[in-house]
Amino acid sequence: MFNIDTDINSINQKLKEGKTLKQIAEELSIGYSTIKSKLNEAGYKKINGQYIIQNNNNVLLPTPDADEPKQIKPDIINDILLRLEAVEKIIGNNINDKKTIIINLPEAKEHVTSFAINDIILQQWKEFCSKNKGFKNKDLINQAMIDFMDKYNSD
């Protein structure tokens, strides 16, 4: 049998867990309107999601159980982790992936040579060099050749 005075702590605990008063009424096998009217008749008011009794305008607030650690539901943890992964992905996509050019050439004599190059590649190279005016064209070519050989050398 439902007794408001003995069941109020259970009702408030279930409300803390995220259940609605309608769900709690169903669990207690009583009608929603019945539980609502019994709470009102007994002088309970809903304050901050909890039913608190009010006597002569003095509000009695429930004291949190200091011994009872707060339990975080696994669903909430999984939701937080999914959101964190999404944020990390967004941040990762916004990081500037532009690499710094480092010229590291050996000390050696220079030789002048000529070679044929595709017109489109030559145009792209000129645009690249104009964007990187802090470097000499010959140094960029030398470093590009070293990087290519390092990448594809089978030794």
Q: Rounded distance, CA 151 to CA 52, Å?
A: 73
Query: Which strand ranges, in their side-by-side order, compose the sheet holding 50-55?
Result: 44-47, 50-55, 58-59
What's CA 44's distance to the chain center, in Å?
39
pLDDT in tens, 15-65: 888 888 889 888 888 888 888 888 888 888 888 888 888 764 555 555 555
pLDDT at 117: 94
pLDDT in tens, 121-136: 999 999 999 999 989 9
What pTM does this model have? 0.38
Model confidence at 104, pLDDT cuts 50, 70, 90, reads confident
Cβ of 29: how many Cβ atoms within 10 Å?
7
pLDDT at 112 over 90: yes
Three-class HEC string of 61-74: CCCCCCCCCCCCCH
- What does the domain layout of the chain look like in residue ranges? 4-59, 119-152
pLDDT in tens, 63-98: 555 555 666 677 788 888 888 888 887 777 666 556
Identity of the amino acid at 17: E
**Rg of the chain over all Cα atoms, to the nearest angstrom:** 36
Model confidence at 101, pLDDT cuts 50, 70, 90, reads confident
Residue 42 · residue 30 · CB < 8 Å: no
Q: Where are the alpha helices (DSSP H) in the chain?
A: 4-16, 21-27, 32-41, 74-94, 119-131, 137-152
